[in-house]
Structures are given as C-alpha cells and as structure tokens.
Amino acid sequence: MANKQANLDLGETEQTFPILEGSCGPDVVDIRKLYGATGKFTYDPGYKSTASCESALTFIDGEEGVLLHRGYPIGQLAESSSFMEVAYLLLNGELPSADELDDFDNTITRHTMVHDQLRQFYQGFRRDAHPMAIMCGVVGALSAFYHDSTDISDPEHRKISSHRLIAKMPTIAAMAYKYSIGQPFLPPQNSLSYTGNFLRMTFGVPAEEYEVIPAVEKAMDRIFILHADHEQNASTSTVRLAGSSGANPFACMAAGIACLWGPAHGGANEAALNMLQEIGTPDRIQHYIERAKDKNDPFRLMGFGHRVYKNYDPRATVMQKTVREVFEALNVKDPVFETALQLEEIALNDDYFAEKKLFPNVDFYSGIILSAIGFPTTMFTALFALARTVGWVAQWNEMISDPAQVIGRPRQLYTGPTQRDYVPIEQR
Ligand code: SDX
C-alpha cells in the first residue's frame, strides 16, 4: 500500500509520487505517472535502481547474502527439499503435501517425452554445435508442436505449457549432449526421478542398463534447486518482456535461453571453469588477480561479482560444500578445486575485491562439480537453462496474472541528430 510520498522538485514544478512498501526489501517510488505529469523520463541503464514488476516468488538481500523462494531460505531448500518440490513451491506459492507432490511429479513425468519429429531438428545442426544454440532453436520450435496450449489467456493452456516446458527441458538438453557425441538418444524412463531420468538420458546407452548413483542424483538435484529462480535477473527479465507482448511461452523461454547464454550471466559457469583450467596451478593465481584488477585488461574473474550480491552468494556456499560431497562419492580429486579455493582466498583478502564487494557467485564452483559428474563445459549453461526454466515459467505465469501487466516498452535519452532535410546524392 502507498502510505509515504516522494517529492521531486523539477525547478519549475514539484511533483509527489507514492512510495510503495513490499513485505521486505527496499521500498519503491511509484513513478508510473512521471512522464504524464512532467514530460520527463527516468534514466537507468542496466536498471540498477529500477523495479520492473511486483513479485512474490523470490527475495534477495544482496548486502546480507540472503535468498528466499516464497520465504524459504535457499540453504534449507538445498538441504531438505527436491527440485520438483521447489518447482511446485515456485509455481503454487506453498510447499506441497505428500499427495500434491506425488501428483505434480507424476504430471511432469508424463510430459517428458518430445514429439518424435523434434528429433529431426537435431540433424540440422553440426555435431560440434554449442548445446545452447541447439536449446535456443529446439525450445523455440516447441510452439510448432503444441498449438493446443499457446492461448496464454487460458489458465489451462498456461498450466499445461508450463508443465510441458519443465518436463521436456531435461530431454532436450540430454538429446543435445547425445547428438554432440554421436550417441543415440535415450527416451525418458518414467520409473526414475526427474533428475535420475535426466542423468540416464545423458549418460546411459542402449547397450546396457544405467545405474543412477544416489549421491550424484542428489548433487545434481541440489544444483538444479540452486539455479531454479533468482528474482529479475537478465534472462528472467527477457522472458517477462517477451511474454508482455503476448508471445507464446515456448518462444519466451527460447528468448530467456538466448539471454542466459552470455558470459556475464549464465555463460559464466562455462567461462569460470575454462578460466580455472587456464590458471592451472596456484602459483599462477596472482597473475590473473592482477589482470582482473587492471582497468586496461578486459579480463574478469569469471564466477566472481554480482549485480545484487555484495556479500557471499548463498548458492556458492552450498555449491562449494557439494563439490566435496561429489568428490567423495565418486572418489575423484580435481586440482582445479584446490586452485579455486586458493583463488577465492587470495581474492577475498585483496583490497580491490573487498572494496568492490566482489565475492564468488553461483557459477564459481558449479563447473567443478559438473565436470566431475562427466559433463563437458559446453553443457554447463544448458544445465543452468534446464533448471532456470522452472523460475522463468513461474515468473511468466506471475506476470500474465498481474492486473498491472502491460506490454514492456522502455523509452530513451535521445542524443542523435535533430531533424534535418534529406540531401540528394549529387549534393553530398
Ligand atoms: C549470474 O542477476 C542475477 O541474478 C544473475 C544470476 C542468476 O542466478 O540469474 O545470479 C546468475 O549471472 C551470476 C553472475 C555470473 N557472471 C560472472 O561471474 C561474470 C563475472 N562477473 C562480472 O562480469 C560482474 O560482476 C557482473 C556482470 C556479474 C555484475 O556486473 P555489474 O553489477 O554490472 O557490476 P560492474 O560490472 O559495474 O562491476 C563493478 C566494478 C567494476 O569496476 P569499476 O568500473 O567500478 O572500477 O567491479 C568490477 C568492475 O570492473 N568487477 C570485476 C568483476 N566483476 C565486477 N572485476 C574483476 N572481476 C570481476 N568478476
């Protein structure tokens, strides 16, 4: 409710705008009427001070390193919940009863198959195509197969397309991996969990039974939980903006995948492991720390820093713990983990990183785990997209149901040429 006001003195006029309070986090100044009242826009490249919507899904306190999904701390969900339960929570607002979870799980399980003709899409890609290129193409094409669920004004259409997207992303991602290594696609197996099914479709072969390792299934499921949703990040904002035009949900998710691919966003998990492998041994860390601090060097520590977190990303805390669990379960060691730990230690004790409040984020350790499980680095962002589909779908549904929702259409500060007349070519 608006119960406080902000006064804006523009010299010739003074305007007041309501201040809206949320259940927690910063208040917002409601400037929806600013342009109509003053003929002026706000200017906020990168939207660092702009709330684009009202949401009840995820709350982040960047200063304190807090992340809540519908009020539940990410650390508790990672420890005690499951990815399917978190998906239910984000979509429905409350933790499910045992029967509700069972019903939801069964519904998702029965949507994991893809139309057989979708397999042909993969044949059009080179074998070395980046899995994110395949995900963009194949997910966008899903709308060509589901004309029965693209009427976004129909809640039932929204519900079934949401279930189809959450259910089919593991199948599509696993197929992208299989295609890249020249192995046949494995169809989903309904007797397995969501995450166990994904691991089998990815690493199983028709020639023999695939045994899901419980510790790996648990770690993978936890990684999915850690990536499920994260407030109004770049790819979620892309999904909301695409959805605000009335585009079908499959096209909106393809837009989100495209945005997530960037190395400043979801592509950072692939870039972070590549960076750690390039650093190689701890003795080379300081050289890269100096490069990251050099304003003339475009190099940045991948997996470090965050627009919102100015404290330790709580997801990175869980991720680091999960590295140790996976290494123990698989009886593997990876010297890159030692390098990562030492890099973190050195960076966090360096004034540059301390002053700019740069801490490890969700992408810093995730690649080490995914590599230990057997994924190539090119699959890391596809896994991020798989998990984030839950958040994108939940945010998309929330946006469509928001009565304040209108098509997103930002304005600009124009600094180009003022009006001038055309000059015929012979006079130039
Ligand atoms: C994700 O938004 C989300 O929630 C995203 C995400 C999600 O779940 O959806 O959390 C997932 O995208 C995590 C972030 C993954 N990206 C990386 O790890 C790439 C490396 N990080 C940076 O590119 C950067 O930190 C960003 C893009 C993440 C945040 O950039 P900002 O908020 O725009 O801050 P900035 O670039 O203006 O940096 C502030 C200062 C700058 O120095 P000055 O110009 O003030 O002198 O800090 C410096 C930057 O040069 N800086 C870094 C750095 N990150 C910022 N310097 C060295 N190494 C880094 N990693």
Each residue of 369-391: pLDDT tens digit?
999 999 999 999 999 999 999 99
Angle CA 156–403–87, to nearest 5: 50
From CA 257, how far away is CA 244, in angstroms rounded? 17
Give the CA radius of gyration of the chain.
Answer: 23
DSSP H stretches of helix in 110-233:
118-123, 131-141, 155-181, 194-203, 214-226
Q: Is 61 helix (H, G, I), strand (E, B) or coil?
A: strand
Under the banding of pLDDT at 50, 70 and 90, the label for residue 324 is very high
363 assigned to active site? yes
Residue written as token pair 């089919």: 168
Is the pLDDT at 190 greater than 60, yes or no?
yes
Confidence category of residue 147, pLDDT binned at 50, 70, 90: confident
For residue 377, give every residue at least 6 positions away whose Cβ sits within 8 Å of its Cβ, in sequence order, or none: 270, 273, 274, 367, 371
Ligand 1 atom having least distance to the Cα of 227: 8
Mean pLDDT of 293-309: 95
- Residue 231 Cα: closest atom of ligand 1: 4
Q: Determine which residue's CA is closest to atom 52 belonging to ligand 1.
A: 300
Contact 96, 75 (CB under 8 A): no
Helices 98-109, 155-181: axis angle to 10 degrees equals: 60
> How many Å separate Cα 417 from the centre of its chain?
38
Buried b / exposed e over 290-307, threshold 16 CB at 10 Å, is eebbeeeeeebbbbbbbe
Which residues line ligand 1 at a C-beta cut-off of 6 Å?
Answer: 230, 233-234, 264-266, 268, 292, 300-308, 356, 358, 361-363
Q: Which residue among the candidates 265, 306, 313, 334 is catalytic per the annotation? A: 306
Judged against a pLDDT cut of 70, whether residue 1 lies above it is answered with: no
C-alpha 265 to ligand 1 mean position (Å):
9
**Segment (H or E) for 15:** strand 14-20
Closest CA to 387 of 263, 219, 148: 219
**Best mutation site among 44, 86, 288, 304 for ligand 1 pocket (most ligand atoms within 8 Å of CB):** 304
Predicted local distance difference test score (pLDDT) of residue 157 = 93
- In this prediction, residues 323-350 reach a mean pLDDT of 94
Half-sphere exposure of 367 (CA within 13 A, CB side): 27
Mean pLDDT over 120-141 rounds to: 96
| Distance in Å, CA 321 to ligand 1 centroid | 23
Tell how strand 2-9 and strand 28-29 pair up: unpaired
Q: Is 105 a catalytic residue?
A: no
Helix (H, G, I), strand (E, B) or coil at 404: coil
Ligand 1 mutation pick, 265, 353, 389, 390, max ligand atoms within 8 A of CB = 265
Pocket test for ligand 1, best of 52, 55, 307, 363 (most atoms within 8 A of CB): 307
**Measured between alpha carbons, how far is 358 from 262 in angstroms, rounded to an integer?**
19
Closest-CA residue to 257 (of 187, 180, 169, 316)? 169
- Dihedrals φ, ψ of 104, to 5°? -65, -45
